[in-house]
């Protein structure tokens, strides 16, 4: 089955060229199927690139997915055209006021990790989003800063600044092979990392109800399950394209920002070489497993979403 997105969203043509099944809303409405409603709260500056990355992964399952794009109400995007935001995104205040519910919600990262959480201009509204998920979203997936923010909100776990950026492709150990989210995973896997902060394994372990599913000896915990809040959190970037780390490296070099070569990324550590993607299969496994887990457990009647914790 395809992912249901507007035919004029840039991701529609990108994914069609890649062979991902996409369907415009008119065609989807003719199918007698309840699609899974997945929201994307997109906090990244490059909105279109991020839309493509997540739509590619959640649209690769046999299920019909209806993707809804959401933004913070007052925060204005500076790197994406205003007409794109106006055409395809709804502010969270409008979504919350409508009372609608979602089978899943992805909360992306944001390039503000150097700030304390309460120094972020939209922090109070984001806390409202997190609380709203408990009654209006069946399963939430927090990514990078978004995942750290959710753990901090629900469990008080702190994020810590690193002395240097964790940047590159790092091996991670599968700590829970029986987890439904890691179905099909190898004993270890390579995952792109790009962050200046960390959450520490010991502090996560001290928080009741949290389980570390993927961990790296080099860059710490990666994937954390929080069943009490029907959420999982990933601190790293399985959704990245092959050249995303290259784009970040080239940007910093061009801006004169001190940056080390991303670890284990370029063949022979030569930035003139084309990077090789060694994480794509595990990216599809993780997001496919998340979608499947939602499908297996979400109520058919969407009004019942959140009943247990409402």
| CA nearest neighbour of 239 among 161, 171, 142, 173 | 142
Phi, psi of 81 (to 5 degrees): -55, 140
Reply yes or no on whether 237 is catalytic: yes
Three-state SS letters, 190-205: EEEEEEEEECCHHHHH
Check if the beta carbon of residue 166 is closer than 8 Å to that of residue 131: no
- Options 113, 203, 225, 239, the catalytic residue: 239
Strand partners, 226: 231
Q: How big is the chain by its Cα radius of gyration, in Å? A: 19
Coil, strand or helix at 10: helix
Q: Is 188 buried (19+), middle (13-18) or exposed (0-12) by CB count in 10 A?
A: middle
Q: What does the alpha-carbon distance between residue 172 and residue 218 come to, in Å, rounded to a whole number?
A: 9
Phi, psi of 193 (to 5 degrees): -130, 135
Which residues fall within 8 angstroms of residue 294, CB to CB, at 6 or more apart? 36, 103, 104, 138, 139
Reply yes or no on whether 222 is catalytic: no
Reply yes or no on whether 125 is catalytic: no
- Options 203, 237, 248, 282, the catalytic residue: 237
Structure token pair of residue 84: 């794109």
Check if the beta carbon of residue 96 is closer than 8 Å to that of residue 137: no
Q: What does the alpha-carbon distance between residue 251 and residue 52 come to, in Å, rounded to a whole number?
A: 20
Check if the beta carbon of residue 88 is closer than 8 Å to that of residue 12: no
Q: What does the alpha-carbon distance between residue 302 and residue 298 come to, in Å, rounded to a whole number?
A: 8
- Options 66, 136, 138, 144, the catalytic residue: 144
Catalytic residues: 144, 237, 239
């Amino acid at each position: 089955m395809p992912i249901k997105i507007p035919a004029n969203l840039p991701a529609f043509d990108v994914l069609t060229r890649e062979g991902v099944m996409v369907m415009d809303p008119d065609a989807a409405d003719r199918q007698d199927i309840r699609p899974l409603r997945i929201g994307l709260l997109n906090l990244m500056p490059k909105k279109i690139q991020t839309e493509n990355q997540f739509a590619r992964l959640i649209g690769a399952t046999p299920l019909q997915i209806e993707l809804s794009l959401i933004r913070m109400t007052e925060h204005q995007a500076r790197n994406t055209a205003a007409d794109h935001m106006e055409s395809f995104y709804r502010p969270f205040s409008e979504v919350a006021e409508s009372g609608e519910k979602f089978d899943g919600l992805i909360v992306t990262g944001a390039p503000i990790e150097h700030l304390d959480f309460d120094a972020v201009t939209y922090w109070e509204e984001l806390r409202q989003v997190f609380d709203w998920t408990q009654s209006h979203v069946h399963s939430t997936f927090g990514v990078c800063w978004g995942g750290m923010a959710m753990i901090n909100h629900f469990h008080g776990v702190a994020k810590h600044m690193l002395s240097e950026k964790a940047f590159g492709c790092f091996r991670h150990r599968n700590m829970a092979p029986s987890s439904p989210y890691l179905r099909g995973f190898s004993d270890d896997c390579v995952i792109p990392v790009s962050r200046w902060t960390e959450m520490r394994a010991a502090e996560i372990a001290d928080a009741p109800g949290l389980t570390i599913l993927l961990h790296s000896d080099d860059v710490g915990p990666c994937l954390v399950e929080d069943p009490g809040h029907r959420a999982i959190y990933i601190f790293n970037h399985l959704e990245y394209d092959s050249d995303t780390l290259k784009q970040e490296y080239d940007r910093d070099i061009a801006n004169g920002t001190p940056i080390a070569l991303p670890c284990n990324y370029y063949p022979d550590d030569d930035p003139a070489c084309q990077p090789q993607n060694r994480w794509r299969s595990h990216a599809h496994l993780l997001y496919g497993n998340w979608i499947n887990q939602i499908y297996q457990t979400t109520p058919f009647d969407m009004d019942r979403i959140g009943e247990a914790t409402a």
